[in-house]
A and B are shown apart, each in its own frame.
Chain A
Amino acid sequence: MRYLLIILLLFIDVASAYNIDEMLDLYRKDNDLSKQTKNESLGHLTIYTRDDIERMQAYKLQDLLNSLRSFRYDENSLGMPDTLHMDPLLYASDVVKIFVNNHEITSAFAGSGLFIYGNIDLGFVDHVEIYEGSTSTNVNSEPSMITIKLYTKDPNRELGAHLLGYIGSRATNHENVSYAGIDGDLEYFMYASRTDTNRKEYTHENHTLLRSYEDLHALVTLKYNNITLDADVIKRTMDPFLSTSMFATPKDGKIDYIYGRVSSDMTFLDDDSLKLSLSLMRIDGRLDLSMDKSRWSQKPSSLTLSQDHLETKSLDDIYQIKVQKDFNYKNNNVILGSEFIEKELHGVKTYNNGILSTDPEFVDNSIASLYLQDDYLYSDIQLFTASIKVNHYDSASNRYAKIFHTTQARLGYIYSSNGNILKLFASRMQLPTEQFVLASTSQNEVDLLNIMDYSIEATKSNNNHKIALCFEYIQNQNPDSEVDIYDIDEYYNNYSGSLKYDYSYDDYNDLTSMIYMNRVHNYVSRDIDNIYGANLKLLNSWHKFDIYNELNYYKRSNSEIDGINYNAGLRYKATQALIFSLKGTNIFDSAAKSEYKYVKMHGYIPSIESLYYSPIDQLFSVGMEYSF
């Protein structure tokens, strides 16, 4: 009894040692919204909380994509975000799925919304979850290997107005304003931003390579009882970087698009176990490209022209509807759901040197899915998860195989006790990407890419220390037609492993670190590439200052891709409402580069050469934010 009294007295002293500002701040950290949305059974999870995003001064999503095991931020030859970029493929990240408030952002053109959101401003975002490896079948419409979930700021937590702006190298600047309020039962959050990103310029054979872009972004979130409605519009105008130039010699051009989305969630029944989600998206895009020669030119006559000009307009429409019901039976949580997605790339008009293409490519796929998942709580510390999904495709754009099916299945086991966590997952997926369906128009049947994904993650936490080991094996079974025609291996085997160590000195000082290695079967070069990486991040707070340091090392074998990205930032919280910030990104201009292939002519003899440019520019910025 005497000891219990001492303990209680000691605790009272500890609690009273905090002033009210510290208590409010610790309450904020403790009630981060990510704790309500994260789902460990979905896969191998990395969370960036509101606190992380603010202290890292992560202004764009790309700032959060450089310290992960299985991928890094990268861009394609048009300067679009493409984390699995593999030149000369135009877009390789169709298995990277991105969500805003649990609504999948996708496109018929790329099979993913990453090209829109990969470098979007983060002023509207509360927190970000990144799941590496396959996820449960109730999450994505089609199979994925990486799932990025953005959650917008909650109107109920954002009352009042907020302004943020920064200016940096090459006159790069960003301004955003947001306002949240409550009117009766209606809660609303409104956000608008403008970003002018002036990128580093390069010169190749007397041609200037540009990839600057300007964004206008507006977003509204409305909550009315059990109905949530999100709407956002993004208008982007960007330089075409290497364009589609065969010789990496673009002359002039512009890419611009307007992206619009309206999404809604409704829950029904007393326990909100019945959920209806609706989403409409449109991307109105235009490419206007001039270059010496385009890779896309199909007419031999254009090779004799001194200049190649491509102008393309298209509409990319997505319609989604999803119904899901949760059931609880004994120790089982069963999810039964159905989803329908219509993806259309239409209204395509392509002019090659002023001549309208007579055979425009288009995509028109309907996917109807049915999925079932059971999470079985075997004991307080053990959970088994199993899910299956059947996708029924109706592809109007495929000349021969209009109807076909794919399946996804996943098994998982999670053990969690006293800071020790073990996760095991095994998935089987079939993948017909939009590009693949297009490429298969001459096939009588749609061949599918079969993917097997096995992963294990073991985590041990002890006081302030956390250590985690992760290993993933992915086997791609190439379609029979590809194996026969191109004489490639039937199986491509990829391995990935990482060791993480995190140390939390106290509530305000954290270290996170990781070393990793990936073995990737490059399906363009057919080589085995080994990727080695290491990340170290320090987040510290001292009085009114937040200090951020991050280092990312990345090296890819068989290439010149090898470098260190070092970022540092300082925030000064003059008052609760007024904050000044200073940040350096890629401070030593030494971040690992990306490879872009092009054709070099030696007289009449062509050879394939590579250019290397980093997707991360050196950037120094100063910023200010004010709440009222």
Chain B
Amino acid sequence: MKKLIFALLFITTIVQAENSQWEKLIIEKILTSLSHQPKVNVYTDDTKLKAKLALENHIHFTQSCVDADFILSTLSDKPKCNKPKIVFNYREYLHSPKAIAVFFWQKGRPTIRFSSKRLHQFGLNVTGELSKFVSSK
């Protein structure tokens, strides 16, 4: 019983700590809404982003973008592989033909947008509750 109380106290601490990590949960949700595999192969050059997502169950980081299903791109990296990209900057989303999704701020609120045209080009579709973020833009 003592151990259970300890576990419950610990979980409360974890949940509070994890409140600061909504970003990785949202990114994981974007990836799983695009993939039907239990584990999504992802490539990124961004070490900070990699560290944030390292413990996520559904994400496996590849050494090369060739082996990846998706590329997580920030402004600092420019992988050349022809793989669908999820970006974090609206400017990059507008100008990169491989950017299928963007997680960005609009009118003071974070939001998600998927490009229906680019999803179609890569033969992808969005499932679940994130399908409402698919846009023709």
A residues with CB within 8 A of B: 3, 6-7, 10-12, 14-15, 19-20, 23-28, 30-31, 50, 126, 153-154, 156-160, 162, 182, 184, 463, 507, 576, 627
B→A interface (CB under 8 Å): 3, 6-7, 10-12, 14-15, 18-20, 22-23, 25-26, 29, 57, 90-91, 104-112, 129-130
Task: Pick the contact of B108: A12, A26, A153 (CB < 8 A).
Answer: A153
Enumerate the 8 nearest inter-chain pairs by beta-carbon distance, A residue then B residue, closest first.
Answer: A157-B105, A27-B22, A627-B107, A182-B91, A159-B106, A24-B110, A26-B22, A10-B11
Assess whether B90 is in contact with A126, with CB atoms less than 8 Å apart: no
Q: What is the CA–CA distance of A420 and B130 in the complex, to the nearest angstrom? A: 40
- Asked whether A24 and B20 contact (CB < 8 A) given A3-B7, A156-B105, the answer is no
Residue of B nearest to A11 (CB): B14
CB distance from B112 to the nearest CB of A (A): 8
Majority DSSP secondary structure for residues of A touching B: helix
Interface contact B110-A158, CB-CB below 8 Å: no
Please indicate the chain B residues that have their CB under 8 angstroms from the CB of A12 in the complex.
57
Which residues from A are CB-within-8-Å of B104? 159
Residues of B within 8 A of A15 (CB): 18, 25
In angstroms, how far is the closest chain A Cβ from the Cβ of B131?
10
Shortest Cβ distance from residue A187 to the other chain B in the assembled complex, whole angstroms: 9
Q: Chain A residues with Cβ under 8 A from B6's Cβ?
A: 3
**Distance of A157 Cα from B106 Cα, bound (Å):** 5
Query: With A and B bound together, what is the CA distance between A627 and B109 in angstroms?
Result: 11
Q: Which of A3, A153, A156, A182 contacts B3 (CB 8 A)?
A: A3
> Is A162 a contact of B90 with CB atoms below 8 Å?
no
**Interchain Cβ contacts under 8 Å between A and B, 15 examples:** A3-B6, A3-B7, A11-B15, A15-B18, A20-B26, A23-B22, A24-B109, A24-B112, A26-B22, A27-B26, A28-B108, A31-B110, A126-B108, A158-B105, A158-B106
Q: What separation, in Å, do the CA atoms of A507 and B20 have in the docked complex?
A: 12
A527 to B58, CA, bound (A): 70
Please report the C-alpha to C-alpha distance between residue A144 and residue B57 in the assembled complex, in whole angstroms: 52
* CB-CB nearest in chain A for B107: A627
- Docked CA distance A25–B96 (Å): 27
Contacts of A153 in B (CB 8 A): 108
Residue of B with least CB distance to A464: B16
Known contacts A24-B111, A159-B105, A159-B106; is A30 also within 8 Å of B19 by CB?
Answer: yes
B67 to nearest A CB, angstroms? Answer: 26
CA distance A154 to B111 in the complex (A): 16
**A464→B110 CA distance, assembly (Å):** 25
Return the chain B residue nearest A154 by Cβ. Answer: B105
Which of B19, B106, B107 has the most chain A CB within a 10 Å cutoff? B107
The total number of A-B Cβ pairs within 8 Å is 78
Q: A156-B105, A160-B106 are in contact. Are A26 and B19 (CB under 8 A)?
A: yes
A23 to B26 CA separation, bound complex (whole angstroms): 7
B3, B11, B130: the one contacting A20 at CB < 8 Å is B130
The verdict on A24 contacting B7 (CB below 8 Å), with A11-B15, A158-B108, A182-B91 known, is no
Q: How far is the CA of A451 from the CA of B111 in the complex (A)?
A: 49
Complex CA gap A30/B7 in Å reads 25
Q: How far is the CB of A422 from chain B (nearest CB, A)?
A: 22
Cα–Cα, bound, A25→B19 (Å): 11
Q: Which residues of B sit under 8 angstroms from A157, Cβ to Cβ?
A: 105-106, 108
Does A7 lie within 8 Å of B22, measured CB to CB? no
Q: Please judge, given known A-B contacts A7-B11, A27-B26, whether A50 and B111 are in contact too, CB under 8 Å.
A: no
> How many angstroms from the CA of A184 to the CA of B25 in the assembled complex?
30
Contact partner of B109 among A20, A126, A507, A576, CB < 8 A?
A576
B residues less than 8 Å from A184 (CB atoms): 91
Asked if B106 and A11 make an inter-chain contact with CB atoms under 8 angstroms apart, the answer reads no
* B26 partner residues in chain A, CB cutoff 8 A: 20, 23-24, 27
B106:A20 contact, CB within 8 angstroms: no
Interfacial chain B residues near A156, Cβ < 8 Å = 105
Extra inter-chain contacts (15) besides given A19-B129, A24-B22, CB under 8 Å:
A3-B7, A6-B7, A11-B18, A25-B109, A27-B110, A30-B19, A156-B105, A157-B105, A158-B105, A159-B106, A159-B107, A160-B106, A184-B91, A576-B109, A627-B107
A169 to B106, CA, bound (A): 32
- A126 neighbours in B (Cβ, 8 Å): 108
Cα(A162)–Cα(B107), bound, Å: 7
**CB-CB < 8 A to B108: which residues of A?**
28, 50, 126, 153, 157-158
- In the complex, A266→B39 CA distance in Å? 45
A184 to B104, CA, bound (A): 17
User: Considering the chains assembled together, what is the distance between the CA atoms of A184 and B92 in angstroms?
Assistant: 10
Contacts of A507 in B (CB 8 A): 19
CA distance A517 to B109 in the complex (A): 39
A14 with B19: CB separation less than 8 A: no
**Across the interface, which residues of B come within 8 angstroms of A30, CB to CB?**
19-20, 22
Contacts of B19 in A (CB 8 A): 26, 30, 507
Q: How far is the CA of A140 from the CA of B106 in the complex (A)?
A: 33
User: B107 contacts A28, CB within 8 Å?
Assistant: no
A156 to B75 Cα, complex, angstroms: 14
* Residues on B with beta carbons closer than 8 Å to the beta carbon of A25: 109
How far is the CB of B27 from the nearest CB of chain A, in Å?
Answer: 10
CA distance A7 to B18 in the complex (A): 13
In the complex, the answer to whether A28 meets B110 with C-beta atoms within 8 Å is yes
A3 nearest in chain B by CB position: B7
- CB <8 Å contact, A11 and B130: no
Whether the Cβ atoms of A159 and B130 lie closer than 8 Å is: no
- Which of chain A's residues have a CB closer than 8 A to the CB of B90? 159, 182
| Residue numbers in B under 8 Å from A28 (CB-CB) | 108-110
A336 to chain B, nearest CB (A): 30
Residues of A within 8 A of B112 (CB): 20, 24
A156→B6 CA distance, assembly (Å): 43
> What is the minimal beta-carbon distance from A91 to any residue of chain B, in angstroms?
35
Collect the chain A residues with CB atoms within 8 Å of residue B91's CB: 182, 184
Q: Are A7 and B14 in contact (CB under 8 A)?
A: yes
A187's closest neighbor in chain B, by CB? B91
Nearest A-chain residue to B12, judged by Cβ: A463
Inter-chain CA distance A25–B3, complex, in Å, is: 34
A23 and B105 within 8 A (CB): no
* Nearest A residue to B104, CB-CB: A159
Interface hub of B12, B20, B91 (most chain A Cβ within 10 A): B91
Q: Which residues of B contact A11 (CB under 8 A)?
A: 11, 14-15, 18
Inter-chain CA distance A433–B19, complex, in Å, is 47
Bound CA span A23–B14, Å: 16
Distance in Å: Cβ of A129 to nearest Cβ of chain B: 17
A159, closest chain B residue (CB): B106
* Assembled-state Cα–Cα distance A182/B93 (Å): 12
* Alpha-carbon distance between A126 and B107 when the two chains are bound, in angstroms: 11
Residues of chain A within 8 A (CB-CB) of B129 are 19-20
Chain A residue numbers with a CB within 8 Å of B12 are 463
